[in-house]
Structure 1
Amino acid sequence: MKKTAGPALNQEKRPLKPCPHCHGAGFVQSMFYQLRCDNCEASGVVCKETGESLAMDDLVIQLRIRLNDRSQQLRSLRKQLAELRGGESGRGYGAGGSRYHGD
Structure 2
Amino acid sequence: MTGKSHGPSFKKHMIKLGECPACNGRGVVQGVFYELDCGACSASGWIDPWLGQPLPLEELAAQLGMNLRAALKRIEQLKTPRATGPEAQYQEGNRLGAGSSNYTGD
TM-score, normalised to structure 1, is: 0.71
Question: Sequence identity, in percent?
Answer: 30
Q: Which amino acid aligns with 2:5?
A: K
Q: Give the paired residue count.
A: 83
Aligned residue in 1 for 2:91: none
Match of 2:97 in 1: none
CA RMSD of the aligned region, Å? 2.0
Offset from partner CA, 1:36-89 (integer Å, 9 cap, x none): 0011001101111110000001100111111001110111111117x6xxx8xx
> Please, which runs of 5 or more residues in structure 1 have no aligned partner?
88-103
- Please name the residue that 2:26 is paired with: 25
Report the counterpart of residue 61 of structure 1 in structure 2.
62
Answer 1 or 2: higher relative contact order, Cα 8 Å, separation at least 6.
Answer: 1
Q: State the alpha-carbon separation in 2 of the partners of residues 15 and 75 from structure 1.
A: 20
Post-superposition Cα deviations, 1:4-28, rounded to whole Å, max 9, x if no partner, equal 43x3332111122111111110000
Q: Does 1:77 align with 2:78?
A: yes
Q: List alignment gaps of at least 5 residues for structure 2.
A: 88-106
Instruction: Tell me the TM-score normalised to structure 2 length.
Output: 0.69
Q: Aligned partners of 2:47, 2:54: CA distance in 1, in Å?
A: 5
